[in-house]
Structure formats: structure tokens, C-alpha cells
Amino acid sequence: MKRDKTNKTRDLCAAGICVTGMLWAGSCPASGFSLIEQSVSAMGGAYAGGAALAEDATTLFFNPAGMARLGSPEAVVGLHIVDPSAVFHDQGSRDLVRLFGTGLGHDEGGDAGVLSAVPNLYYARPVGDRVALGIGINSPFGLSTDYRNGWMGRYDADHSKLTTVNLNPSIALRLTDHLSLGAGLDYQYLEAHLSNRVDIAGILPILGRPLAARLDTNLHLKGDDTAWGYNVGALWELDDGTRIGAHYRSGLDYQVEGRADVTVPGGPWISGPSKGLVHNVPAHSDTSMPAMASLSVVHPLNDRWTLMADLTWTDWSCLQALVFHFDGILPTGSEVVHWKDAWRYSLGTEYRPSGRWVWRAGVALDQTPIPNPQERTPRIPDNNRFWLALGFGYQYSERLGFDVGYAHLFVPDPKIDRVDPLGVSLLRGRYDARVDILSAQLRWRFL
């Protein structure tokens, strides 16, 4: 009898971990959790024209074909400080198991946004008149949210952090005076740390324990993996200075290996092997990051003014069904998600009053892949994002230049109406959300 009780308790803990693992697979700021902050010079124009700008080595990320336009070897190092804010306001969250007794509490979790730094580094070098080589180090995906302990949405999320590091060697070939092609490989490392709570007493009341009381387990899942991908692009330069760029970045398939830690609280209702910590349980999941495709146009109006536009598609619908496996006593868990493909539309302009200065401005609409409040999770309280961006560049000397950019992202109040996957609680409310980004980069030409 004691053995059966122990197994049931551990199975319930595992179910909570499986739900947590879902966000690992979903962790495939632009919309969702992709990071478009890969170039400061492009950010000033809200990344309009990204696949056609080709003004410095950061083109390696947005379209490697653009390296064919660079006249000398150069290195670019950039840093983006991302300051998101996501403050939850309760609008009827409740316990779905207990008609009387302990509720979810009144703590709304505070500001879940976490200040983050996103660095990137690029180097590009012409090899003869028709070939250029380059390499980039960046972070295409990322996620970080953190709520106060014990908040009312703790059965969905406490802490979430996903980090990626991408190594991207590339080559560009100038086929004609008008057409260049580029290609690159992506070797990407992913690391995730996720945690939440599970109320065991609310799922399966344990003999002798009042249903009104709670028995929360602390769940922590961590793991990492590496994956390979590729990107290809083309740049067409017209006689009037107009440039048209097309770029595709493949999805990446991960076989994530990790460990799960489960803290089972003690007390008169649980004893023996189930009490304490279920530690370092091996876990794994097959998951994917989305593919992306962009079409960009850059058109000079005259010697000073340039217009830019971009359309980018992200294959977020690759995230549909997620399965997480545990070795040993913990059972396999699965979760269904319904993210949809998303589009990003941007318009921008550049103004060059002199040979040293360039001023930039842009706007963008970044669609969310989350279709409705029922599919929204407190780990990623995302919604459509409206960008307003400004920036400038200054060429200090023939070798050294720098760029600065700022963007404010207006995020219409994301609403959430979510039953946690174990059916214990309903999280219902809205978020006050916004994002501010401040960026700077240095560009060094090796003349």
C-alpha cells in the first residue's frame, strides 16, 4: 500500500514536470521568443530592409549575400539591453478543485520581466573581387521571466530562462554586378532552466489530509543540447541603387537531454521514499526551433534619403504537439500547443546629412503566434508588438564608426484565461506589458 502511494505521488510530480517541459520545446524580442536584436545599425530603422541593407558585417545574420558589398575586412561588436515589463492583474483566477478552503492567494507575482543583455559579434572579409567570408556569434532565441514565490499562477510558471548561442560561418559570391548569393551554417547551443509548482493534494487527495489544505511540490527542469541549421540569401542590386534582398534561415531540430529535480514536502501524509527530493531524474525531448524567411527592399530617394521595407515570416506552427520522456519511474508526458505562423511588417528611413552622420527611424508590427487567451502562458505573456525605433550612426574615422539605437515596443494588454494542464487552477487576468531596448555597437574596418 505504501509503495502504491509513493508511485502515485511521484507520477503526479512527473506530470507537472511534463507541463513545465512544454515551454522548453516551445522556446523555439520579436514575437514569441525569437530575438531579432542582431544589429544596432538595422535596429534604428526597426529592422526595415534587413535582408537588403548590407551596410556592415551584421548583414551576415540577415542576409549573408550582403557581405559581397563590403569593400574591406571589418568587425562589428554590439550589445542590446532589453528591458521587458509584464505585470499581471487578476480578473477572477480561482481554484478548480476546492469549493471551500484555501484559494490561490492574492499575490499577483510582481513584474515578471527580467532585464537582459544580448551581445553579438561579426567579422567579414572580402577574398578577391567576387568572394567574401564571414563569421557571426549571436543569440537568435531567448526567454526570461521570473515571478514572486507563491504567486497565484505558480502552477503554470515560477521561473523560466532559455538561452541560445549561435555560431554562423558564411560565404558570399558576387555572380554579376547586380546579383550576389550567400550561404551559411548555424551551429547552435540551447540551455533551459524552468520551474513551477504542482499541488498534489488538489489532484489526488491523500488519505488523512484535508482537501482544503495544499501540498505543493517544487519542480525544476534543466537541460541543453546543440543543433545544426543553415541560412541562404540573395541580393539583387538595380542600376538606380535599389536593392532587393531575400533570406531564409532553416529551423533547427534538438534532442534535448536534461535532468529533473522534484521536491516532495514531508508531513504525516507522506513518508518513506517519497519524502524529500527526487533528484537528477534523466529526461529528454525532441523539439524544434522555427524557420524564418524575409523579403526586403532598400530604395534611395536621393543622396540623403533612403526608404526601407521588410516582410518576415516565422514558422511558429512547427510547435503543435510536445512530448517529454523521463527515465526510470517517471512516466512520459505530452502537451498540445496551437501556435500559428506569424508575420512581421516594417517600414523605415535613413537620412544622411553628411558623410559622417546617418539618422534612422522606423516602425513595425510584430504579430504574436499565440492565437487566444486560452493558449497564452505566463511564461511568455506575448501579444502583437508595435515598434517605434530611432537611431544614428557616426563614422569617427576612416577605420572606426559606431551606432546607437533605441526602440519602444507597445504591447496591447495580453489577456490570459488558462486552465493549468493538470486542471487544478484557472489563471484569468491581463498583463500590463511593454519592452524597451537600448543598443550600441562599434565597427572597425581593417584598411
DSSP string, 325-348: EESTTSPPEEEE-----EEEEEEE
pLDDT for residue 1 is more than 50: no
Residue 167: CB atoms within 10 Å: 15
* % of residues, the chain, pLDDT over 70: 81
Residues 6 or more apart whose CB falls under 8 angstroms from that of 371 comprise: 338, 339, 340
Provide the pLDDT for residue 264.
Answer: 65
Residue 242: CB atoms within 10 Å: 15
Q: Which residue has the cell 511558429?
A: 316
Burial grade of 373 (CB within 10 A; 0-12, 13-18, 19 or more): middle
Q: How many domains does the chain have?
A: 1
pLDDT band at residue 338 under the 50/70/90 scheme = confident
243 contacts 300 by C-beta, under 8 angstroms: no
pLDDT band at residue 336 under the 50/70/90 scheme = low
pLDDT for residue 305 is more than 50: yes
Provide the pLDDT for residue 334.
Answer: 52
Provide the pLDDT for residue 19.
Answer: 34
User: Which of 8-12, 188-192, 225-229, 275-279 has the lowest average pLDDT?
Assistant: 8-12
Provide the pLDDT for residue 373.
Answer: 92
Average pLDDT over residues 51-72: 96
Task: Print the domain residue range for 110.
Answer: 2-445
User: Which of 58-72, 250-264, 400-414 has the lowest average pLDDT?
Assistant: 250-264
Q: Which residue has the cell 495544499?
A: 214
Computed over every residue of the chain, the mean pLDDT equals 84
Q: Tell me the per-residue pLDDT of 152-204, one tens digit each, with 9 for 90 and over.
A: 999 888 998 889 999 999 999 999 999 999 999 999 999 988 888 877 665 55
Name the amino acid, one letter, at 439.
Answer: S
Q: Which residue has the higher pLDDT, 60 or 272?
A: 60
pLDDT for residue 213 is more than 80: no
DSSP SS3 for 12: helix
Provide the pLDDT for residue 211.
Answer: 56
Alpha carbons 356 and 335: distance in angstroms, whole number: 54
Q: Which residue has the higher pLDDT, 277 or 49?
A: 49
Provide the pLDDT for residue 181.
Answer: 98
User: Which of 147-151, 224-228, 320-324, 328-332 has the lowest average pLDDT?
Assistant: 328-332
Provide the pLDDT for residue 287.
Answer: 79
Q: Which residue has the higher pLDDT, 98 or 122?
A: 122
Provide the pLDDT for residue 33.
Answer: 84
Provide the pLDDT for residue 8.
Answer: 38
User: Which of 130-139, 262-271, 353-362 has the lowest average pLDDT?
Assistant: 262-271
Indicate which CATH number applies to the domain containing 103: 2.40.160.60
Cα 428 vs. chain centroid, distance in angstroms?
24
pLDDT for residue 12 is more than 70: no
Q: What is the pTM of this model?
A: 0.87
Q: Which residue has the cell 514565490?
A: 149
